Amino acid sequence: MAKYDVVVIGAGSTGTAVARDCAMRGLKTLLLERDDIASATVGTCAGMISSGLKYMDEPNIVDMCSDEVVYFKRIARHIIAKNPILTPLLEMSDLSSGGNFAEEYSKRAETRDVPPVLFLTPEDSLKIEPMLNPDLIASLYFEEYFIDPFALCMLQALDAKQHSADIKTYCEVTDILTKNGSITGVQYFNRIADKMESVKTKAIINAAGPWAHKIAALAGAKLELRLNKGAHVILDRRVVNVGVIAKAIEGRMIYLFPHENTVLLGTTALDTWEDPDTLVASQDEIEYLLKSMEWVIPSIRDARIIRTMEGVRPLVPTWKIPEGDVTRGYEVIDHEPEGVSGLVSFTGGKLVMCRHMAEAATDLVCKNLGIETECKTHNMPLPGNSDDVDIMALAKEYGVSQHTVERMRARRGSETATILELTRDHPEWKTTICTCEPVIEAELRYAIRETFPQTLNDLRRRVRLGTGPCQGTFCTFKAAAILAEELELSGEEFQLDIADFLAERWKGKRQSIRGEQIAQEELAQGIYACVGNLDQAQEELDYDLKPWEEVL
């Protein structure tokens, strides 16, 4: 049986950061993930690595966030973009509570290479963003950074792998083995190999997010979480030029942020006890977001909604206070005092802190193991973060359209040249498979060979397949064939993969289906059901009902 120094459970932003840190410090590391990298909470966020302006009541956290932004810019600049943000004010009371927000933000602004909070006149605001409500009286302007959350997790995982960590996706932890109050191993069901497996270890870092309490329970440890869900509505293109923040119906702040070539409208915050796998955005949440944003962007309802998404925050369990008052900091909990030695869990935390959280937990584990180590994760660059990419030169050299190369650069940084090089031996891989983004076959094949996707949905996280306005209508069957070829799937598996991906896309599309998206869906039904007859094939095949589909 394999033996590891540490087993990390959960491959979200925290888990992958932990695996990276442990591996870089020389620990023999195994990262176990029930589904795929970034398939849960982190995959449903807007990607803002915030400066912490929301946490002005917790100045230590603000400082930490500011530092982490600087580190991210150092190690992952190729997946970070700047997002200028306007907060239009229709009345002075629209300013979020507390005047020291601007002060807190501005204190460390220079280190993050952004200007301090600025006030803009209504005329200037409208010049920058013509879609704003013309009755605004002023706006605040500040700049935040955004990171691609999927790329961050994948690159952290790949970096861990490069430092000899083992990454196993589709492995669901079923039991944690202990002896005399100490961790001895982990048992898990390997869904790809279709069998139970186990490994020996003395240390487990529980980064399972909204399932952390269930994982802890497997070891007989107690962990409390305050689970809180949030929805996003995704619009088909950048309908606004800059980010917009507005005061929502009950006084919370919500946002409209450009994200790649879409715009995200979010988010809500509702305590939840439902199974996270069954959650979808509710009609109330969708309407709440639209109505709230309508005050500052009156034409928001004209925009085309392509889908919604719903995620669950694993908050630090503080009760009898509104969600907004719960700390955004995190806790690293050592379960040794309660009799489970070797288990460390997380509660709370935000995307921007994942490296910091990983450092804290890895320090703790190393201390418990009696090893002296040094954390380097804030200095060593993540893969792909090297040279600048010359779009025009690459486009010309490989005979690929400039826009295709530009979008590839946005996703893959300096790997762009490596991917394009594949087309020398395979010119047919210059074919565009996803016409919305666009994504060419070379990038798909590269992602399949280098980043271990098992399904189309996994591929979606890596290359944005099916995330555009057509939501997979045209690319699904083409990409499925490529994946099936590479993974040598049977005809049945190929059809099921298509059905599974369409199901996953429908999960988010269904709730907000209206306007142009209905015509899009009619076309998808026309293709896959009417012509492809996959709706009937599904009866013959072994289609598994998904958790969110099992609603009566």
| Cα 371 to the center of its chain, rounded Å | 32
Nearer to other proteins, 70 or 529 (CB): 529
Segment contacting other proteins (CB under 8 A): 189-197, 225-233, 365-373, 533-541? 533-541
Q: Which is nearer to other proteins, 339 or 427 (CB)?
A: 427
The residue type at 78: H
The DSSP line for 80-140 is EEEEEEEEEESSGGGSPS-THHHHHHHHTTTTTT-PPPEEE-HHHHHHH-TTS-TT--EEE
538 lines the binding site for other proteins (CB under 8 A): yes
Q: Which residues contact 145 (CB under 8 A, 6 or more apart)?
A: 48, 49, 69, 72, 73, 80, 81, 82, 83, 112
Closer by beta carbon to other proteins, 26 or else 115: 115
> Interface with other proteins includes 81 (CB under 8 A)?
yes
β-pair partners for 348: 330
Contact with other proteins (CB under 8 A) among 93, 180, 379, 490: 490
Task: Pick from 68, 437, 443, 458 the residue near other proteins by CB under 8 A.
Answer: 437
Q: Does 510 bind other proteins (CB under 8 A)?
A: yes
Binds other proteins by CB under 8 A, chosen from 331, 478, 486, 487 = 478
Q: How many residues bind other proteins (CB under 8 A)?
A: 108
Residue 143, beta-bridge partner list: 84
Structure tokens, 26: 């020389």
- 367 makes contact with other proteins (CB under 8 A): no
* 487 scored as a contact of other proteins (CB under 8 A): no
* Residue 262 in the binding site for other proteins (CB under 8 A): yes
Residue 405 beta carbon to other proteins: minimum distance, rounded to whole angstroms: 8
d(CA 40, CA 208): 9
Identify the burial level of 144 via C-beta atoms within 10 angstroms of its C-beta, where 0-12 means exposed, 13-18 middle and 19 or more buried.
Answer: buried
Nearer to other proteins, 144 or 359 (CB): 144
Q: Taking CB under 8 A as the criterion, which residues in 275-304 touch other proteins? A: 283, 287, 301-304
H/E element, 547? none
Residue 424 touching other proteins (CB under 8 A)? no
Using CB under 8 A, which of 265, 316, 405, 463 touches other proteins? 405
Q: Which is nearer to other proteins, 252 or 510 (CB)?
A: 510
Q: Quote the least distance from Cβ 134 to other proteins, whole Å.
A: 11
Does 428 engage in binding with other proteins (CB under 8 A)?
A: yes
* Residue 178, both tokens: 């202990």
- CB atoms under 10 Å from CB of 274, counted, come to 11
- When asked if residue 427 is in the footprint of other proteins (CB under 8 A), the reply is yes
Structural contact between residues 149 and 232, judged by C-beta atoms closer than 8 angstroms: no
Count of CB atoms situated within 10 Å of the CB of 261:
16
Query: Within positions 449 to 468, which residues make up the interface with other proteins, using CB under 8 A?
Result: 468
Question: Using CB under 8 A, which of the segments 64-72, 156-164, 361-369, 405-413 binds other proteins?
Answer: 405-413
112 to 131: interface string for other proteins, x by CB under 8 A: ---xx-xxxx--x--xxxxx
Told to check if 431 binds other proteins by CB under 8 A, we report: yes
Nearer to other proteins, 143 or 159 (CB): 143
Q: How would you class 337 by CB atoms within 10 Å of its CB: exposed for 0-12, middle for 13-18, buried for 19 or more?
A: exposed
Q: Buried (b) or exposed (e) across 82-108, using 16+ Cβ within 10 A?
A: ebbbbbbbbeeebbbeeeebbebbbbb
Q: Where does 199-313 have alpha helices with state H?
A: 212-218, 283-294
Nearer to other proteins, 303 or 343 (CB): 303
223-252 binders of other proteins (CB under 8 A): 236-238, 241-242
Is residue 453 within 8 A of residue 154, CB to CB? The reply is no
Q: Which is nearer to other proteins, 126 or 375 (CB)?
A: 126
For other proteins, the closer CB: 372 or 550: 550
Instruction: Report how far residue 111's alpha carbon sits from residue 234's, in angstroms, rounded to the nearest whole number.
Output: 32
In the complex with other proteins, which residue's Cβ is closer, 6 or 484? 484
Site for other proteins in 83-112 (CB under 8 A): 84
